[in-house]
């Protein structure tokens, strides 16, 4: 029997549809088939052949793909229009707050505002013909057992509201793999969720079997798949993650797609990750395209899987990339690297070589990273068969990348790991004179700039010279987060815009306390204050850290970090703040930020 995802809408829906400006929505339903399910769009079977991302949609269409997935729904209208024009559907993601970003599912105001924001998205886009389904959250269940009932309750409430407003599209929630109690809790605590979305990398081939063993009976979609994650792959003797070549990754994409497609009972399709480029662990680990826009072999693999035909122009192939001799070398050593690459279409190839410091941070939780330091002068000779380079004087781990290009927007990439003996760079850090006053614009004595804008940065505003009731002097710092949900924050940095790849900061040894004054404009504003944000996976981390979450009042109050016993010999991020969505924009004031 065919089970519509929602009940038929009444007159109110008809009136809203007329006012929406969209054509009649395309109905998407689930049909039960024995012990399994299939997806129907406009009454016809629909298997998702998709990718995550919003770029290169012309190539996605030409490759035989039929759907894209988003992680958020802000400013979605133009993307929906483009997808419809190209005959593509869109799984619309609602970004739900993550506890690791400061969202509190036990905070009624935050949960209510998040609910209201999702309601706005549904009302705004539910009648667009490109909408395929709603994906309520992405990996918001956490990374342990996934047993926070408050999170599942919030998801189910949003799903129920979505169904009430939209009778035409199913609901899905996306989790990070299926470990812990994720499958059990979604099934028993989220009856309004129709489909389970699963992001799976290293375990994707066995997912159909493991899902059933975990008790899964709902239909599922693999919402992210690709090469084994950098947190799942092998490590070398130094603990560095070894990245497969783009050629090897393509084989993985093809194998995973085939394994999932073979599950005709519960699997409704999949989304390859990522139809674009993302700096995560390395510049090339998950991207199906290079940062410069060329496609990689993963695109060719999905073209063959989706359409049954290889592309007209195929990507180059890397069959060998290796260091001649030792990979653990002395500072300044000369290193020879040999490359074996070819082109299946016999196109002439060019190779670009780059030496970069290794990020070392492999378990990012999906957060994007800044590019690592490039050593532009390291490669002294190179051609299509190899390169000679002179290693830096600083100790530590490096990656040498080979970017192979056929001149027709198709490429291959691989990298090799090298380590320079000796301690990692520990630049001389200037000693600070105490007390040290931290200013948003920096001073010669305290050169820290409030330059590290994080999260929903476009919703942040700061005025370091506000005359609104300063605590001392003539001005104070006014900070605002002008969004009701998500999160945003600012961290002071030296050098500006640096997240640990460059030397800098100040030696604050001898400081006993970090104090600051703060007040809220309305009272009740919850803000996390912190110092020492750069962790030890960076070449130049902070040597101490701390955080403090407070609820502000309208009166100035002094807050304090106890620094006694802390290693303060390099502090690169001496102060910062983070605010999660609290149901409304917030404004607060800071003054007298001081190490003493």
Q: Is 571 left (phi over 0), alpha (psi -120 to 50) or beta?
A: beta
Q: Which residues of 483-507 are buried (b: 16+ CB within 10 A; e: fewer)?
A: bbbbbbbbbbbbbeebbbbbbbbbb
User: Rounded to whole angstroms, what are the CA distances from 584 to 153, 405, 457?
Assistant: 22, 49, 16
The 8-class DSSP code of residue 205 comes to: G
Nearest CA among 193, 194, 169, 167 for reference residue 8: 167
Query: CA angle 315-317-323, nearest 5°?
Result: 140
Cα gap 494→124, rounded to integer Å: 42
pLDDT at residue 251, rounded to an integer: 97
Q: Which domains does the chain have, with CATH numbers?
A: 75-81+96-193 (no CATH), 318-420 (2.60.40.10), 436-595 (2.60.120.260)
pLDDT under 70 in the chain at which residues? Answer: 1-23, 101-102, 143, 361, 363-370, 425-428
Query: Which residue carries 């001005």 as its tokens?
Result: 475
Q: What is the full DSSP assignment across 286-331?
A: S-SB-TTS-B-HHHHHHHHHHHSS--SSPPPEEEEEEEES-SEE-T
pLDDT at residue 445, rounded to an integer: 83
Q: What is the full DSSP assignment across 57-73?
A: HHHHHHTT--EEE-S--
Secondary structure (H, E, C), 512-538: CEEEEEEEECCCCCEEEEEECCCCCCC
Cα gap 575→252, rounded to integer Å: 43
pLDDT at residue 582, rounded to an integer: 85
Helix (H, G, I), strand (E, B) or coil at 493: strand
Cα gap 565→302, rounded to integer Å: 55
First to last CA, the chain: 72
Cα gap 584→593, rounded to integer Å: 26
Cα gap 269→46, rounded to integer Å: 9
pLDDT tens-place string over residues 398-422 = 999 999 999 999 999 999 999 999 8
Q: Which two tokens stand for residue 479?
A: 């900070």
Nearest CA among 493, 464, 460, 489 for reference residue 478: 464
CB count in 10 Å sphere of residue 181:
19
Cα gap 103→146, rounded to integer Å: 15
User: Rounded to whole angstroms, what are the CA distances from 435 to 432, 450, 511, 567, 592?
Assistant: 8, 19, 8, 17, 11
């Amino acid at each position: 029997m065919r089970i519509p995802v929602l009940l038929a809408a009444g007159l109110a829906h008809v009136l809203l549809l007329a006012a929406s400006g969209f054509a009649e929505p395309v109905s998407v339903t689930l049909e039960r088939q024995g012990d399994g399910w299939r997806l129907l769009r406009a009454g016809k079977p629909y298997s998702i052949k998709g990718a995550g991302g919003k770029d290169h949609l012309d190539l996605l269409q030409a490759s035989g793909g039929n759907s894209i997935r988003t992680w958020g729904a802000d400013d979605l209208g133009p993307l929906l229009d483009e997808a419809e024009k190209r005959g593509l559907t869109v799984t619309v993601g609602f970004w739900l707050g993550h506890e690791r970003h400061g969202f509190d599912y036990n905070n009624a105001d935050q949960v209510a505002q998040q609910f209201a924001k999702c309601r706005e998205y549904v009302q705004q886009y539910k009648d667009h013909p490109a909408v395929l389904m709603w994906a309520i959250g992405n990996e918001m269940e956490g990374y342990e057992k996934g047993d926070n009932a408050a999170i599942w309750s919030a998801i189910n409430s949003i799903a129920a509201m979505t169904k009430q407003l939209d009778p035409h599209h199913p609901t899905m929630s996306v989790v990070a793999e299926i470990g812990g109690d994720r499958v059990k809790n979604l099934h028993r605590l989220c009856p309004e969720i129709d489909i389970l979305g699963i992001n799976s990398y290293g375990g994707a081939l066995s997912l159909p079997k493991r899902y059933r063993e975990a008790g899964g009976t709902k239909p599922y979609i693999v919402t992210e798949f690709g090469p084994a994650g950098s947190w799942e792959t092998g490590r070398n003797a130094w603990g560095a993650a070894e990245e497969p070549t783009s050629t090897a990754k393509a084989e993985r994409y093809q194998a995973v797609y085939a394994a999932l497609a073979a599950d005709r009972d519960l699997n409704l399709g999949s989304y390859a990750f990522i139809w674009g480029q993302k700096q995560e662990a390395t510049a090339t680990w998950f991207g199906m395209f290079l940062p410069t826009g060329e496609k990689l072999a993963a695109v060719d693999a999905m073209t063959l899987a989706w359409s049954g035909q290889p592309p007209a122009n195929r990507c180059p192939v890397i069959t060998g990339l290796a260091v001649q001799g030792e990979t653990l070398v002395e500072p300044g050593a000369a290193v020879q690297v040999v490359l074996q690459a070819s082109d299946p279409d016999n196109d002439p190839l060019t190779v670009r070589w780059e030496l970069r410091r290794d990020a070392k941070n492999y378990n990012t939780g999906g957060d994007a990273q800044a590019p690592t330091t490039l050593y532009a002068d390291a490669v002294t000779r190179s051609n299509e068969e190899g390169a000679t380079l002179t290693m830096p004087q600083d100790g530590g781990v490096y990656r040498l990348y080979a970017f192979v290009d056929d001149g027709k927007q198709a490429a291959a990439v691989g990298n090799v790991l090298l380590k320079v003996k000796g301690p990692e760079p520990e630049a001389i850090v200037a000693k600070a004179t105490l007390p040290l006053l931290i200013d948003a614009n920096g001073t010669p004595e305290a050169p820290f700039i409030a330059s590290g804008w994080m999260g929903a940065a476009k919703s942040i505003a700061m005025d370091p010279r506000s005359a609104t009731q300063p605590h001392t002097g003539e001005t104070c710092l006014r900070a605002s987060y002008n969004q009701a949900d998500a999160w945003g924050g600012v961290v002071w940095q030296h050098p500006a815009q640096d997240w640990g790849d460059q030397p800098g900061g100040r030696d604050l040894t001898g400081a006993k306390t970090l104090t600051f004054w703060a007040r809220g404009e309305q009272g009740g504003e919850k803000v996390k204050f912190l110092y020492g944000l750069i962790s030890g996976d960076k070449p130049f981390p902070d040597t101490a850290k701390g955080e403090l979450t407070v609820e502000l009042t309208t009166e100035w109050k002094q807050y304090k970090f106890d620094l006694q016993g802390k290693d303060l010999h390099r502090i690169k991020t001496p102060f910062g703040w983070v605010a999660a969505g609290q149901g409304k924009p917030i404004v607060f004031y800071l003054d007298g930020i001081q190490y003493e």
